[in-house]
Homo-oligomer: A and B are copies of this chain.
Amino acid sequence: MAERFGEHSLKAVGVRIDAEHPEGFIFDPHQPQLRVTDLGSVRGDGIFETMLVLDGKLRKLQPHLDRLARSAEITEIGIPPEESWRAAIDRGLEEFKTRGGGGDNISVRLTATRGVDGEPASEDPRWAGTYWVLLTPVPEKVMANRLKPISVTLLDRGYDSKASERAPWLLLSAKTLSYAVNMAAYRWAAQHGFDDVIFYTSDGQVLEAPTSTVLLLTKTADGTPKLTTPTLKTGILPGTSQGSIFAAAERAGWELGYGPITPEDLKAADHLWLASSLRLVSPIERIDDTEFATDEDYTAQLLDFLKEDLASSYPQEG
């Protein structure tokens, strides 16, 4: 199989899923796959998930499949059944290893688009769109910066904290392909000397980072660590890494909390992190002009929590 891929593509594998290939078929991501009339390509009208193979094990597959299904429901995009995604991922991982891509630190991205405008791929809505899995090595930059302290700027997301509840057409809690604002926020941050962004609402509630979840650590009166994350009521994405960390933290006797969180709450926290599937956990050492102490032990503890990954379901807000 490897020889039909160009040398440059040695470490990227695509698996396309369609009604005729419910278990997926391999493609070369360096070759064109998508039509210019695909609604994913021309209107950002699709959904995705990104997960990680770490220490040789695919992490948090079920939570990511659950969140993909939730995004599909919100956006009314039909998607293949779970067993199809699972089979395609297995096929991709096998191919990735066969082709010398190694077995660790692989990014596994699932994408589903609404398909080609006016030409559904199937009459069955579960197969009407365009679906693929993309396996690539975790980018070198992400690898190099893992666990390193980062600086963050707070940016206004424009919405207020009630927008998600009153305006479901804003799709706030779906993970769609319409990520131009997230990318623009990253450019803004880089141009102003920051590594990352935390969004807040126009009425002053902390939301999320463009591709990560915010975690706060405070200590209770008796010294028990308490992890807090912003409330989902604002329409942020439920973080799968946050969920995994919370599950293990609960088993370890830590306290858990779910916002609302203000920028002042951030500044009052003992320690802060951003968590996401590829970056794992990044301790925050600065938010705008405010410095924060980082703590290697707690960072290592959160990483251990994340790696426990025992949970098939996570503690839920509320």
Contacts and interface: CB of A to CB of B under 8 A. Distances in A.
Interface of A: 12, 14, 29-46, 48, 75-76, 109, 111, 114, 118, 132, 134, 139, 155-160, 163, 166-172, 174, 176-185, 187-188, 202
A29 B36 contact: yes
A34 B156 CA distance: 33
Protomer copies? 2
Q: Which of A12, A34, A109, A139 has most chain B Cβ within 10 Å?
A: A34
B43 A41 contact: no
Nearest to A186: B169
A46 B41 CA distance: 9
A48 B180 CA distance: 13
Contacts of A155: 167, 169
B171 A181 contact: yes
Given A156-B166, A179-B43, A187-B76, A32 B35 contact: yes
Contacts of A163: 156, 158, 202
A31 B106 CA distance: 30
A118 B166 CA distance: 39
B180 A180 contact: no
- Interface SS majority for chain A: mixed
A35 B134 CA distance: 11
Contacts of A32: 31-35
Give 7 nearest A-B pairs by CB, closest first: A44-B44, A178-B178, A178-B180, A158-B163, A43-B179, A34-B34, A32-B32
Q: Which of A29, A38, A158 has the most CB of B within 10 A?
A: A158
Contacts of A44: 43-44, 176-180
A167 B177 contact: no
Nearest to A155: B169
Contacts of A35: 29-34
A111 B44 CA distance: 13
Contact of A37 (B29, B160, B176): B29
Contacts of A179: 43-45, 178
Contacts of A33: 32, 34-36
A114 to B, nearest CB: 8
